């Protein structure tokens, strides 16, 4: 199935369970205008119950589920059926986030189903070894926050970003890489993009900020600047 192509560098806004309902819709609309104004591709994740409303309200955002199960139409009470998020207008889904880790079999199936249905996948890993394993499944994007390197004192932030970028690309150079850990300032966005990542984004650094839209705009402006320089 056809998927919309992401233009790099892109940006991801991930409100987790901070936003829902009307507030999520309004924030998505505002981000949609920023995506258009600065000509930057922006992923926006929301609660499953909000996917339809958000999709209906926006034109540019890549509306993204926060999780999806790898199962088939049929049984599966309470599971997130891939077809259901697609029908609700989602174009992408996160998978295997540290707050929603997946069994090996589920992740394998979820990526296969997403590929068959034309859903973009953003798979998460907590270590370089895990990232390289998941990379063999060819998700469209990966987020890698290797806990084993954090706080060792041996690697700077940028060093481990580069190291994970390289580890993933060594397995599959087509996977786009999002460096998103602890992004709360424009300087963080710059650092992530300087590492060679294809994208960056934020959660609490944006939605828990005093003025979420203001910081989101500043970050998107920064991404736009890097995008121009790259082209």
The set of residues, in sequence order, having a beta carbon less than 8 Å from that of 11 and lying 6+ positions away, is 40, 41, 42, 43, 199, 200, 201, 219, 220, 223
β-strand pairing of 120-125 with 42-46: unpaired
| CB closer to its own copies, 125 vs 220 | 125
| CB closer to its own copies, 1 vs 231 | 1
| CB closer to its own copies, 49 vs 230 | 49
C-beta of residue 88 within 8 angstroms of C-beta of residue 52: yes
Q: Please, what is the minimum distance in Å from the beta carbon of residue 184 to its own copies?
A: 15
DSSP, res 79:
-
Distance CA(28)–CA(114), nearest Å, equals: 23
Q: Please, what is the minimum distance in Å from the beta carbon of residue 130 to its own copies?
A: 5
Is 23 assigned a catalytic role? no
Q: Please, what is the minimum distance in Å from the beta carbon of residue 117 to its own copies?
A: 12
C-beta of residue 51 within 8 angstroms of C-beta of residue 1: no
Distance CA(8)–CA(5), nearest Å, equals: 9
Of 36, 48, 100, 145, which is the active-site residue?
Answer: 145
Please give the residue ranges that form the binding site for its own copies (CB under 8 A): 14, 16-18, 20-22, 45, 47-53, 65-67, 71-81, 83-85, 87-88, 90, 94, 96-105, 107-109, 112, 125-127, 129-130, 132-134, 136-137, 204
- The enclosing H or E element of 90 equals none
Return the number of other C-beta atoms located less than 10 Å from residue 111's C-beta.
Answer: 24
| Paired tokens of 144 | 């890698």
Is 97 assigned a catalytic role? yes
- The enclosing H or E element of 28 equals helix 21-37
Of 22, 48, 91, 97, which is the active-site residue?
Answer: 97
Q: Please, what is the minimum distance in Å from the beta carbon of residue 123 to its own copies?
A: 9
Q: Please, what is the minimum distance in Å from the beta carbon of residue 148 to its own copies?
A: 10
| Paired tokens of 160 | 């481990």
| CB closer to its own copies, 76 vs 118 | 76
| Paired tokens of 230 | 């790259």
| CB closer to its own copies, 33 vs 127 | 127
Q: What angle do CA 176, 177, 183 make, to 5 degrees?
A: 140
The residues annotated with a catalytic role in the active site are 97, 145
């Amino acid at each position: 199935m056809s998927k919309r192509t992401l233009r790099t560098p892109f940006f991801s806004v991930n409100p987790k369970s901070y936003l829902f309902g009307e507030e999520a819709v309004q924030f998505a609309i505002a981000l949609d205008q920023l995506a258009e104004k600065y000509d930057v591709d922006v992923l926006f994740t929301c609660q499953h119950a909000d996917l339809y409303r958000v999709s209906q309200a926006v034109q540019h955002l890549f509306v993204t589920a926060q999780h999806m199960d790898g199962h088939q139409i049929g049984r599966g009470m309470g599971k997130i059926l891939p077809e259901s998020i697609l029908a609700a207008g989602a174009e992408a889904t996160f998978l295997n986030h540290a707050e929603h880790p997946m069994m090996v079999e589920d992740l394998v199936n979820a990526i296969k189903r997403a590929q068959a249905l034309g859903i973009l996948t953003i798979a998460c890993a907590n270590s370089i070894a895990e990232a390289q394993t998941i990379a063999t499944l060819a998700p469209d994007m990966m987020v890698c926050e290797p806990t084993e390197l954090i706080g060792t004192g041996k690697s700077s932030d940028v060093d481990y970003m580069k190291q994970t970028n390289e580890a993933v690309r060594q397995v599959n150079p087509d996977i786009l890489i999002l460096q998103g850990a602890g992004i709360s300032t424009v300087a963080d966005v710059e650092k992530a993009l300087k590492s060679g990542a294809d994208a960056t984004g934020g959660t609490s650094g944006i939605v828990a900020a005093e003025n979420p839209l203001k910081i989101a705009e500043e970050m998107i402006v920064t991404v736009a600047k890097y995008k121009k320089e790259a082209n």
